[in-house]
Amino acid sequence: MTRVTHARQRSPHTSIQVVAHRGASDDAPEHTLAAYRKAIEDGADALECDVRLTADGHLVCVHDRRVNRTSNGRGAVSALELADLAALDFGSWKDREESPDWDPVPGELTSVLTLERLLELFTEVRATGRPLQLAIETKHPTRWAGQVEERLLHLLNRFGLAAPPADEPSPIRIMSFSGRSLHRVRAAAPALPTVYLMQFVSPRLRDGRLPAGSRIAGPGMRIVRSHPGYIERLHRAGHRVHVWTVNEPGDVELCAELGVEAIITNRPKQVLSQLGRI
- Kindly give, in sequence order, each residue whose CB lies less than 8 Å from that of residue 248, ignoring residues fewer than 6 positions away: none
Helix H or strand E segment including 20: strand 17-21
> Which residue is catalytic, options 6, 31, 58, 63?
63
Helix H or strand E segment including 82: helix 82-86
Active site residue 21: yes
| Residue 273: Cβ within 10 Å count | 14
Closest CA to 112 of 140, 89, 94: 89
Amino acid letter at 139? Answer: K
Residue 231 Cα distances to 11, 196, 277, angstroms: 18, 14, 24
Return the C-alpha torsion angle 107, 264, 115, 51, nearest 10.
Answer: -110
Give SS3 for 47.
strand
Residue 62 Cα distances to 102, 114, 218, 262, angstroms: 23, 9, 20, 22
> Which residue is catalytic, options 6, 21, 239, 242?
21
Active site residue 140: no
Q: Which residues are catalytic?
A: 21, 63
